[in-house]
């Protein structure tokens, strides 16, 4: 692994991606970063479950309620896959999640939807940002962790239900667009501000995100990642009829 030959042949940024968990986790900082990542994602899924289940109460019809409950249940299964993985690598899931509880709880507390449509926009925005982030971060992971993250990612996209409902509501009453656009902006702002807090607090995780562990990413790369996610969000909001 450490022959000069290998070091020159493989671009630095693909080294971890070419390793499996057993090899990559020998580096304690990489291990700590993955534990952080899985803990943050797991708590994120659990918190999303709670909020979606809560928002289901705002549903105008039984069918709508069932759809939101379905999204909530999908989030819970992501949570289970992530915590199962933590257990498999001999990490107690609760301990891995706790450092991220406050940021995610704060995010949800500060973005409690005041009605059904705000809840739908939040479900869609949350689902989409999560997908984008999973996709971005997958490239930085060893093959085993990447498989898990992509498997969880593959199962998202329940947000389409939300898109249809929101688009129909705006068509029926175009004034809604302005309020919901503001709301989507607030969601993204809160998400970024909590994400920055997490990045500042968690050394191992941030180092992995900026590619500090035997990788070629520089600090600017994290900025670019956030910016790609924000751009994708803006495009989605426009497609939804909301100027973001």
Q: Counting contacts by CB under 8 A, is residue 70 touching its own copies? A: yes
Say which residues have a Cβ less than 8 Å from residue 228's Cβ, sequence separation at least 6: 132, 136
What is the rounded distance in angstroms from the CA atom of residue 193 to the CA atom of residue 199?
10
| Helix residue ranges per DSSP H, 56-115 | 62-88, 93-110
Q: Counting contacts by CB under 8 A, is residue 77 touching its own copies? A: yes
What is the rounded distance in angstroms from the CA atom of residue 243 to the CA atom of residue 170?
12
Sign of the CA dihedral running 166, 167, 173, 174: positive
Q: What is the closest distance, in whole angstroms, from the C-beta atom of residue 76 to its own copies in the complex? A: 4
Applying CB under 8 A, which of residues 7, 66, 182, 243 lies at the interface with its own copies? 66
Only one of the segments 3-11, 90-98, 132-140, 167-175 lies at the binding site for its own copies (rule: CB under 8 A); that segment is 90-98
With tokens 């809604």, the residue in question is 176
What is the rounded distance in angstroms from the CA atom of residue 187 to the CA atom of residue 48?
14
Q: Which is nearer to its own copies, 39 or 159 (CB)?
A: 39
Q: Counting contacts by CB under 8 A, is residue 228 touching its own copies? A: no
Q: What is the closest distance, in whole angstroms, from the C-beta atom of residue 100 to its own copies in the complex? A: 11
Only one of the segments 5-13, 70-78, 115-123, 184-192 lies at the binding site for its own copies (rule: CB under 8 A); that segment is 70-78
Positions in 15-54 near its own copies (CB under 8 A): 43, 46, 49-50, 53-54
Applying CB under 8 A, which of residues 97, 180, 242, 244 lies at the interface with its own copies? 97
Q: What is the closest distance, in whole angstroms, from the C-beta atom of residue 101 to its own copies in the complex? A: 7
Q: Which is nearer to its own copies, 73 or 193 (CB)?
A: 73
| Helix residue ranges per DSSP H, the chain | 4-9, 21-24, 28-55, 62-88, 93-110, 116-138, 143-154, 160-172, 176-201, 203-209, 219-239
Residues that bind its own copies (CB under 8 A): 43, 46, 49-50, 53-54, 56-57, 61-63, 65-66, 69-70, 72-73, 76-77, 79-80, 83, 93-94, 97-98, 101
């Amino acid at each position: 692994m450490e022959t000069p030959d290998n070091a020159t042949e493989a671009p630095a940024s693909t080294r971890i991606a070419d390793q499996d968990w057993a090899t990559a986790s020998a580096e304690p900082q990489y291990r700590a970063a993955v534990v952080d990542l899985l803990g943050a994602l797991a708590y994120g899924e659990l918190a999303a479950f709670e909020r979606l289940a809560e928002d289901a109460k705002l549903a105008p019809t039984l069918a709508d309620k069932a759809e939101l409950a379905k999204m909530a249940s999908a989030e819970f299964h992501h949570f289970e896959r992530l915590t199962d993985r933590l257990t498999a690598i001999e990490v107690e899931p609760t301990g891995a999640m706790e450092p991220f509880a406050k940021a995610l709880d704060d995010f949800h507390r500060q973005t409690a939807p005041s009605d059904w449509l705000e809840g739908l926009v939040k479900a869609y925005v949350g689902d989409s940002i999560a997908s984008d982030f999973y996709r971005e971060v997958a490239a930085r992971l060893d093959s085993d962790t990447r498989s898990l993250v992509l498997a969880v990612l593959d199962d998202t996209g329940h947000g389409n239900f939300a898109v249809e409902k929101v688009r129909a509501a705006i068509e029926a009453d175009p004034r809604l667009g302005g309020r919901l656009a503001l709301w989507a902006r607030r969601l993204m702002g809160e998400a970024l501000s909590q994400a920055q807090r997490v990045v500042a607090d968690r050394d191992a995780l941030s180092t992995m995100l900026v590619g500090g562990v035997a990788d070629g990413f520089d600090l600017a790369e994290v900025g670019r990642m956030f910016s790609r996610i924000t751009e994708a969000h803006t495009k989605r909001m426009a497609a939804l009829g909301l100027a973001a």
